[in-house]
């Protein structure tokens, strides 16, 4: 059985874009409008010689904002069960939001190792978000650009000890 790597984070940070890049097929829908991807998607991923099962999470995008954190939490916790490592994606351009902080708190209570990915870090627009993300207490963020394929080698190095 392949090690399982789960991609989590609030809507619109680039989870499905990362999933598609890792899996190499358009298995997950990506759209400028949040709310396109539903449920969990599984795909066989390959990254510089590492093989694993990638899991894209979603399914809460259409929920009413009041209940969003609760439903996300239930989804995220269900998805974390059985995962070998979690990729927690933030949007480095948007900076840290209250929902990112809340997800980070859930992750602190989880047994699953977490790699913090600061996505949308191409160019300089992500620099302040990268710095802010240290405050999440999840270690050094790995800057990536899922859309442009940057940070792949650093992601590989971060994953290597866990899979
Ligand atoms: P999800 O809701 O977390 O699955 O996010 P998506 O993968 O659907 O992406 C949301 C939006 O962010 C889309 O418009 C993507 O094109 C965009 N996006 C994803 N990755 C990057 C990136 O590395 N850089 C930039 N600038 N935009 C990105
Ligand atoms: Mg998605």
Instruction: Delimit the domains of the chain by residue range.
Output: 4-162
pLDDT per position as a tens digit, 32-43: 445 444 567 889
C-alpha of residue 59 to centroid of ligand 1, in Å: 16
pLDDT at residue 60, as a whole number:
56
Taking each helix axis from N to C terminus, what angle separates 98-108 and 68-80, rounded to the nearest 10 degrees?
Answer: 40
pLDDT at residue 77, as a whole number:
77
Question: Which ligand sits nearest to residue 12's alpha carbon?
Answer: 1
pLDDT band at residue 157 using 50, 70 and 90 as cut-offs: very high
Say whether 122 counts as a known binding-site residue: yes
Please tell me the distance from the alpha carbon of residue 157 to that of residue 140, in angstroms, as a whole number: 13
ipTM, two decimals, is: 0.99
The percentage of the chain sitting over the pLDDT mark of 70, rounded to a whole number, equals 83
C-alpha of residue 44 to centroid of ligand 2, in Å: 17
Q: Are 139 and 128 in contact (CB under 8 A)?
A: no
**CA-wise closest residue to 146 among 56, 85, 62:** 56
Please tell me the distance from the alpha carbon of residue 130 to that of residue 96, in angstroms, as a whole number: 9
Cβ–ligand 1 distance for 119 under 6 Å, the answer yes
pLDDT per position as a tens digit, 99-149: 899 899 989 988 999 999 999 999 999 999 999 999 999 999 999 999 999
Handedness of CA 56, 150, 143, 120 (dihedral sign): negative
Q: Are 15 and 8 in contact (CB under 8 A)?
A: yes
pTM confidence score = 0.90
What is the number of the ligand 1 atom nearest to the C-alpha of 37? 4
Q: Does 94 have pLDDT greater than 80?
A: yes
pLDDT at residue 78, as a whole number:
77
CATH class entry, domain 4-162: alpha beta
pLDDT at residue 36, as a whole number:
44
Cβ–ligand 1 distance for 63 under 6 Å, the answer no
Query: In this structure, which residue's CA is closest to atom 22 in ligand 1?
Result: 120
Cβ–ligand 1 distance for 151 under 6 Å, the answer no
């Amino acid at each position: 059985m392949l090690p399982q790597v789960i991609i989590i984070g609030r809507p619109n940070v680039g989870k499905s874009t990362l999933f598609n890049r890792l899996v190499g097929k358009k298995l997950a829908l990506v759209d400028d409008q949040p709310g396109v991807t539903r449920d969990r998607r599984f795909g066989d991923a390959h990254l510089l010689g590492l093989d694993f099962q990638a899991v894209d999470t979603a399914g809460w995008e259409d929920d009413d904002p009041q209940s969003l954190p609760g439903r996300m939490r239930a989804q995220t916790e269900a998805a974390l069960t059985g995962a070998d490592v979690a990729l927690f994606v933030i949007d480095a351009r948007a900076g840290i939001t209250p929902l990112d902080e809340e997800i980070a708190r859930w992750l602190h209570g989880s047994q699953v190792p977490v790699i913090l990915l600061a996505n949308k870090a191409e160019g300089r627009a992500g620099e302040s978000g990268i710095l802010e993300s240290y405050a999440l207490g999840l270690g050094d963020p790995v800057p990536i650009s899922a859309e442009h394929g940057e940070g792949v080698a650093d992601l590989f190095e971060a994953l290597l000890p866990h899979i």
